[in-house]
Chain A
């Protein structure tokens, strides 16, 4: 057991750093670094570059185009990406539906969907939550009724992140009776967003932006070939996906970079006296957060090491989700504190790329509060943190 990088690992670090330096588009870097609004094109452009390099699918099996990296290489890569303010690969296709397709899909489905996901030709979104099915996801009501070679889908999905960009949606649908609240009546269905009968309406969140949507299905006809695995087994597949989603949302590397940035900012900010970073009360808050993050980093490394020996990310990944989001939110909160009065101005256009008006506030201080408000979602999505505790109780503690 040791924490030092080997010669090969150091060489890989150098290679990763050099690749990011040379190939990561500067205009995207500027947007991410300064907290500016990121567009669909930015994600697509960056993923296509990664695809060219063969580095888009860090966690996929090699046979489908994965990198085959060791846990340490993955760790190095995520840290280098965070340092370079690299966009994270859009999760819905790459990290959510793809593992379900390559684990449970037919050969034909793999051929049909995976290459386009990998090359970022198709934008995916997630159809899980419904207006009345949040934490109690299994109570979902969107129905899919078999009619010949097709399913007819009716219902509403909500909190569909970037659904207004999406070409395809993966959905949990009820193929059993609507009144039946059990997890054998749910199926996993892939639906073309261009199908007649689908409409998308925006939901504006606390930061004033359109990030999430409602997606309505009215007699949408979906080829039965788009069903993943067996009818009624969707809940099992969904759980696999959720486990992957949870490990991905620990965001340790990003939080490390955010923390460093926060310390810099706090060193340049004062209440008239010494810098905020030298104020013992503030210093202790930062230290506690940094220590928690350090612990989480090693919890994640332990999990990755276990996964590499063949174990799937288990219910322990719930701890990554809980702690990761708590830290992320704590960072947001400290940023608001650093912004002081400049947490007040709400100037959305200032954070559009290419804004030329008069700038208000130091750096992106005026973005601190909108980020803080928006990120309250973090402890709610992907299975709320309370649901994660239920999972730990049931699956780990046997309660």
Chain B
């Protein structure tokens, strides 16, 4: 057992922290959000140069061979700046799937390009009816000679509009919620027959509803074995759940600290409101929630590393506990800020938004509590 960060881990964290501090303040982020792409291509290049896009991938695939502890460290720091560049959909989800299920050639071509910053990905898995059931897939892919023909509706696909390639979870056989018969196809973002309804999410990310109408995909774009993709999907979604947990831990730290600072400057009844015990104890709760959240995040990351991949029960413990913490810290931050907390101009409200949405992606708080209880 060892609870200290290695030198490399500390360097990575420092490097992200430095970027957030120097180049990603709230105003800069707001400008990026208003730009046409909704994220900064320069930043993306920088992420590639700094090696951040290489962190999770194995050394033999050209990556840095980062552990879950490395990834949560990185995500925690990104969370402190509410970074909107599509790290999660491209690196964690898309890259994660290719690393997990891809052939040597697919890894060689796609991961290299991804790590160089030249390939953006999206993972289209959820459907309007599926909620958190990853096996609930109606999007069909029928194989005829050398091609698959894909039809169906994928819901709220992060980076779905901007991605160069979209990895689509499709049903190649079986019934709607069968565990067998699910496959992954790598589809060019510009393929004929994809209808994209692009939108900005409530927390500043880019996403799209995707409708596939007889989209032709070469059979060579199959990722992994046909019909056997669900375990890889489950694993990568758990990795994503842990990643957003870490993001939430970073966001919570900033949120509670900003709240504490604000109450020291805001005066009512002739004194800083930080003097009121009714508020002080609520801030003590926010502090404790963040500490407990950070602890369980580290627990889950270390358990995943011990398991050599993911440890679903630990991920569920983390997602459940961090979901609760995120809710409390976010809501209390707004309450303690008062009216200014519900304005668009102040960063705290935006942290609240991100802390809210994290509770409902890759399995909600209750969903993970139930999975924990059942395992």
Among candidates B280, B292, B301, residue contacting A393 with C-beta atoms closer than 8 Å: B280
What sequence of 0s and 1s flags, for each residue 33-55 of chain A, a beta carbon within 8 Å of any chain B beta carbon? 00000000000000000000000
The DSSP consensus for interface residues of chain B is: helix
Asked if A284 is an interface residue, CB under 8 A from chain B, the answer is yes
A2-B305, A392-B284, A397-B287 known; A295 vs B295 contact (CB < 8 Å):
yes
What sequence of 0s and 1s flags, for each residue 283-304 of chain B, a beta carbon within 8 Å of any chain A beta carbon? 1110110011111101101110
B280 with A298: CB separation less than 8 A: no
B1 with A316: CB separation less than 8 A: no
Cα–Cα, bound, A71→B9 (Å) = 22
Among candidates A1, A322, A323, residue contacting B2 with C-beta atoms closer than 8 Å: A1
A390-B280, A397-B287 known; A4 vs B292 contact (CB < 8 Å):
no
A1-B4, A295-B296 known; A397 vs B283 contact (CB < 8 Å):
yes
* Nearest-Cβ distance from residue A151 to partner chain B, whole angstroms: 37
What sequence of 0s and 1s flags, for each residue 71-100 of chain B, a beta carbon within 8 Å of any chain A beta carbon? 000000000000000000000000000000
The DSSP consensus for interface residues of chain A is: helix
B291 with A319: CB separation less than 8 A: yes
* Nearest-Cβ distance from residue B39 to partner chain A, whole angstroms: 30
B288 with A1: CB separation less than 8 A: no
With a CB–CB cut-off of 8 A, which chain B residues contact A392?
Answer: 284, 287-288
With a CB–CB cut-off of 8 A, which chain B residues contact A316?
Answer: 291
Cα–Cα, bound, A284→B373 (Å) = 7
A72-B1, A389-B280 known; A302 vs B287 contact (CB < 8 Å):
no
Among candidates A9, A294, A396, A398, residue contacting B317 with C-beta atoms closer than 8 Å: A294
B284 with A302: CB separation less than 8 A: no
* Nearest-Cβ distance from residue A71 to partner chain B, whole angstroms: 8
Cα–Cα, bound, A305→B295 (Å) = 13
What sequence of 0s and 1s flags, for each residue 299-342 of chain A, a beta carbon within 8 Å of any chain B beta carbon? 10110010001000000100100110000000000000000000
Asked if B269 is an interface residue, CB under 8 A from chain A, the answer is no
With a CB–CB cut-off of 8 A, which chain B residues contact A104?
Answer: none
What sequence of 0s and 1s flags, for each residue 1-39 of chain A, a beta carbon within 8 Å of any chain B beta carbon? 111111001000000000000000000000000000000
Cα–Cα, bound, A399→B272 (Å) = 10
Asked if B145 is an interface residue, CB under 8 A from chain A, the answer is no
Asked if A195 is an interface residue, CB under 8 A from chain B, the answer is no
Among candidates A3, A323, A390, residue contacting B288 with C-beta atoms closer than 8 Å: A323
Asked if A351 is an interface residue, CB under 8 A from chain B, the answer is no
Interface size class for chain A? 35 or more
Cα–Cα, bound, A292→B318 (Å) = 10
Cα–Cα, bound, A205→B294 (Å) = 38
With a CB–CB cut-off of 8 A, which chain A residues contact B69?
Answer: 1-2
What sequence of 0s and 1s flags, for each residue 338-375 of chain B, a beta carbon within 8 Å of any chain A beta carbon? 00000000000000000000000000000001101100
A389-B284, A390-B280 known; A291 vs B369 contact (CB < 8 Å):
yes
A2-B1, A291-B321, A292-B321 known; A298 vs B288 contact (CB < 8 Å):
no
Cα–Cα, bound, A299→B5 (Å) = 16
Which residues 309-338 of B have a CB within 8 angstroms of A?
317, 320-321
A4-B306, A294-B299 known; A75 vs B284 contact (CB < 8 Å):
no
Cα–Cα, bound, A305→B305 (Å) = 19
Cα–Cα, bound, A368→B112 (Å) = 61
User: Which residue of A has the minimal Cβ distance to B375?
Assistant: A287
Cα–Cα, bound, A287→B372 (Å) = 7
A1 with B298: CB separation less than 8 A: yes
Cα–Cα, bound, A2→B235 (Å) = 20
With a CB–CB cut-off of 8 A, which chain A residues contact B275?
Answer: 399
Asked if A288 is an interface residue, CB under 8 A from chain B, the answer is yes
With a CB–CB cut-off of 8 A, which chain A residues contact B280?
Answer: 389-390, 393, 397, 399
B291 with A305: CB separation less than 8 A: no
Asked if A286 is an interface residue, CB under 8 A from chain B, the answer is yes
With a CB–CB cut-off of 8 A, which chain A residues contact B301?
Answer: 1
A5 with B317: CB separation less than 8 A: no
Asked if A264 is an interface residue, CB under 8 A from chain B, the answer is no
Q: Which of B264, B288, B294, B306 has the most CB of A within 10 A?
A: B288
* Nearest-Cβ distance from residue B252 to partner chain A, whole angstroms: 13
Cα–Cα, bound, A212→B306 (Å) = 46
Asked if A386 is an interface residue, CB under 8 A from chain B, the answer is yes
Asked if A111 is an interface residue, CB under 8 A from chain B, the answer is no
B293 with A295: CB separation less than 8 A: yes
A9 with B284: CB separation less than 8 A: no
* Nearest-Cβ distance from residue A299 to partner chain B, whole angstroms: 4
Asked if B281 is an interface residue, CB under 8 A from chain A, the answer is yes
With a CB–CB cut-off of 8 A, which chain A residues contact B1?
Answer: 2-6, 9, 71-72, 75, 301
What sequence of 0s and 1s flags, for each residue 152-194 of chain B, a beta carbon within 8 Å of any chain A beta carbon? 0000000000000000000000000000000000000000000
B317 with A1: CB separation less than 8 A: no
A1-B3, A3-B306, A302-B298 known; A287 vs B369 contact (CB < 8 Å):
yes
With a CB–CB cut-off of 8 A, which chain A residues contact B283?
Answer: 393, 397, 399
With a CB–CB cut-off of 8 A, which chain A residues contact B298?
Answer: 1, 298, 302
Among candidates A291, A301, A322, residue contacting B320 with C-beta atoms closer than 8 Å: A291
Asked if B246 is an interface residue, CB under 8 A from chain A, the answer is no
With a CB–CB cut-off of 8 A, which chain B residues contact A75?
Answer: 1
With a CB–CB cut-off of 8 A, which chain A residues contact B288?
Answer: 319, 322-323, 392
Q: Which of A1, A302, A316, A393 has the most CB of B within 10 A?
A: A1
With a CB–CB cut-off of 8 A, which chain A residues contact B3?
Answer: 1, 71, 301-302, 305
Asked if A249 is an interface residue, CB under 8 A from chain B, the answer is no
A3 with B299: CB separation less than 8 A: yes
B274 with A399: CB separation less than 8 A: yes
With a CB–CB cut-off of 8 A, which chain B residues contact A288?
Answer: 320, 369
B296 with A1: CB separation less than 8 A: no
What sequence of 0s and 1s flags, for each residue 239-259 of chain B, a beta carbon within 8 Å of any chain A beta carbon? 000000000000000000000
User: Which residue of B has the minimal Cβ distance to A304?
Assistant: B3
A398 with B260: CB separation less than 8 A: yes
A–B pairs, 22, beta carbons within 8 Å:
A1-B9, A1-B301, A2-B1, A2-B2, A2-B302, A2-B306, A3-B1, A9-B1, A284-B369, A288-B320, A291-B317, A291-B369, A292-B292, A299-B291, A299-B292, A301-B1, A302-B295, A319-B292, A389-B280, A390-B280, A392-B287, A399-B260
Closest 10 CB pairs of A and B: A305-B3, A298-B295, A3-B302, A287-B373, A389-B284, A295-B296, A295-B292, A72-B1, A299-B295, A392-B284
Given A3-B305, A302-B294, A399-B274, 8 more pairs with CB closer than 8 A? A2-B305, A72-B1, A287-B372, A291-B369, A292-B321, A298-B298, A302-B295, A388-B284
Q: Give B residues with C-beta under 8 Å from A.
A: 1-6, 9, 69, 260, 263-264, 274-275, 277, 280-281, 283-285, 287-288, 291-296, 298-299, 301-303, 305-306, 317, 320-321, 369-370, 372-373
